[in-house]
């Protein structure tokens, strides 16, 4: 499946759940667009969390809510507040990385 970015007219490959299939296609502008579609206006704290997730993804570190909560970047309670409706799924989609295996 493909979607077209309204910002720069880039065609992005996504899976059936809307996750980018190529994390290198991600840009901060694309993140803002995906977040806006999810009803989230990104703040500096959101961006900090997204950067953490991307760094862990490219290191090959499995992502879990607990790991994010212990990161020092955000508490679990803050994580749920920033990304309502399944914080790890939502934040991973916005961060342009695959849905973590820990998400059902």
60-83 pLDDT, tens digit per residue, is: 999 999 999 999 999 999 999 999
Confidence of residue 59 (pLDDT cuts 50, 70, 90): very high
Q: For residue 13, is pLDDT > 90?
A: no
| Within a domain: 53 | yes
| Within a domain: 103 | no
| Within a domain: 104 | no
More confident residue, 5 or 32: 32
pLDDT number for residue 96: 96
How many domains in the chain?
Answer: 1
Domain that holds residue 70: 23-95
Q: What is the pTM of this model?
A: 0.87
pLDDT number for residue 43: 98
Q: Verify whether residue 14 is a known catalytic residue.
A: no
| Within a domain: 100 | no
Q: Which one from 23, 42, 47, 103 is the annotated catalytic residue?
A: 103
- Asked if residue 65 lies in contact with residue 87, where contact means CB atoms within 8 angstroms, the answer is yes
- Asked if residue 67 lies in contact with residue 103, where contact means CB atoms within 8 angstroms, the answer is no
| Within a domain: 89 | yes
């Amino acid at each position: 499946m493909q979607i077209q970015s309204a910002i720069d007219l880039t065609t992005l490959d996504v899976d059936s759940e809307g996750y980018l299939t190529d994390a290198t296609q991600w840009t901060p502008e694309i993140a803002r667009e995906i977040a806006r579609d999810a009803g989230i206006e990104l703040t500096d704290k959101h961006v900090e969390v997204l950067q953490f997730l991307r760094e862990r993804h490219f290191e090959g570190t499995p992502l879990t809510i607990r790991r994010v909560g212990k990161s020092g970047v955000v508490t679990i309670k803050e994580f749920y507040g920033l990304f309502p409706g399944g914080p790890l799924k939502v934040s991973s989609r916005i961060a342009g990385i695959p849905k973590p295996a820990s998400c059902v």
